[in-house]
Structure 1
Amino acid sequence: MEINVIHFHPTRNPNFSSSFFNFHGLRTFPISSSFSHKPYNFPSTKSTIPPPISPTFPTRISSRANQLPGARTSPVEHEPSFALKNKAIDISYELKGTSIFLVGVNGTMKTNLGKLLADVLRYYYFDSDGLVEQAAGGESAVRAFKENDEEGFRNSETEVLKQLSSMGRLVVCAGNGAVQSATNLAFLRYGISIWIDVPLDMLAKETMECRDQLPSTLAISTSDSFTEELAKLANLYEEMRGGYATADATVSLQKVASKLGYDSMEMVTTEEMAIEALNEIEKLTRVKKMMEAAARPF
């Protein structure tokens, strides 16, 4: 069955170049009507997406410790701090609706940070891997898709990024496919990309705890130890590090913890990471403004 990965009408500004430092802003986009590019074929006959896909409006999350490892999004609403909201307001004008792409090894901190940034900036939140999974018909279907048709799977990742990059006012948690090809990296240049760098041992511990918390009927059948899980993440990191490093900025959990004088990196909150991310975005917008001023004729 032939389906559209996402059904959005793109509103790319014709004055917007492929580099962040030359952007002139992106407009707010409507969440309806079909995307004009040719859809990809997915192998499962049950693969359907309800048109149109609505954006995810972020649930407010608890900002204090226990974000890592093994933390979950809190169902209790937590109002972002005054400092965080003020920082978001300060940079919103210069940001001009430019989308933000978060890259790095997937984990709770990256996901929660994306949702919180979307909340304070009044953006829409998307997970690119989640869109591919939804299009393929679920987690098991996308796993089979990847194993049976690697090229088709990579094409679907590219199509998702292509459509997301044509829009404004998004925070996107990008999967590893976003940094695995020059084409996908080029799509990230339509926004601001930030590498969310979390220590691998914390991510491995989180993965193990998540696995242990699954009901026995849903538990993943694996005998991987912490050491084996850490080795897998290390291999993945080495493979992806070059792509991660092309991001416009890096927000390191370790550096934030050191900057704040914390004894443990687990003390760093999502809000503190969000403030650091907004500081990096502010630096980029300031540099862009200076470059535009320098390019003006006297």
Structure 2
Amino acid sequence: MSAASTMSTDRLWARTLDALLAPGTRDRVAASRPVVAARARFVAGEATDDAVAEAQRLRRTNRLAALHPLLPPADGAAGVDATVAEAVTAIERLAPVTSGGDYRSEIYLAPEQLGIGTDAARAARALAEVCAAGDAHRVDITLRSGPIAAAEATLDLVEATRAHYPRLTASVVARRHRSEGDVARLAASGTRVRLVRGGAGEPADVSWQDPHETDLAFVRCLADLLGSGVHTVVGTHEPLLLDLADGLADQSGRGPEGLEYQFFLGAQPDLQMRTADAGHRVRVLVPYGPQWLEYLHDLARRPSGVRRLAAVLTGLG
């Protein structure tokens, strides 16, 4: 298939998925048997306690958890307050049952949930409040990369916050053209970085479209991070990239726990277990909350996510 045909197919797939979230079809889609099956596999539930229970289960299998509350973007003070309240509640319930020794659980937030696009100062106060709760309970915070339009504001937010909360982790999407520069900027300041391969589809003027180019960008970013010595989290399920990450980690002098691997809940659990059993630090992203259908929509827009969802929907996953 030509590149033009692939892009046309991707756009058609994206429009189809968007139509499934339309008000007139949303409830029917959410109640359909295939979507119910996907939800059971890839989402912990709607309540905080559901996610904490999943984190406990993962801990018993030598895997750590990063709880990801699925909340709508905040367009005002009330939305930001709701995000902070949920994050603090999750921290307080998570810490007593999953942390211990040098192991910390984690909360994963999106900058748009903090209102980054509407009030940067309020977003900074909100993130600081969450980080303070995390420090008090030994739970780390990762800030998602968010939309490309807010990339610069998100980096500014991370750098301002980590001056007081140095364990804050910034997420970077390797697929974006700007990410090598972002990685260099974050590494220079000693910021902890979570590097993901692709993320949801973005236009060609801001991100690589060819999978091979995306892989190369990921490897370049990862090599820079490992060479800098900063705490690095690898977010990919691609076997080749995981093998390359192992090799680069060895070259940089890091042991098995010197590099953290992060996976999606429900995705390739056998791979997760093999990676953990090999002595690597494995963390699983545990999504939960009212926006679970939007999460599945986002997952389905990723090429690897399509494969995972298809496996569940056909009974082969």
- Whether TM exceeds 0.5 here: the answer is no
| TM-score normalized by the length of structure 2 | 0.29
| TM-score normalized by the length of structure 1 | 0.31
**Higher RCO (C-alpha 8 Å, min separation 6):** 1
Structure showing the higher helix proportion among its residues: 2
Structure showing the higher strand proportion among its residues: 2
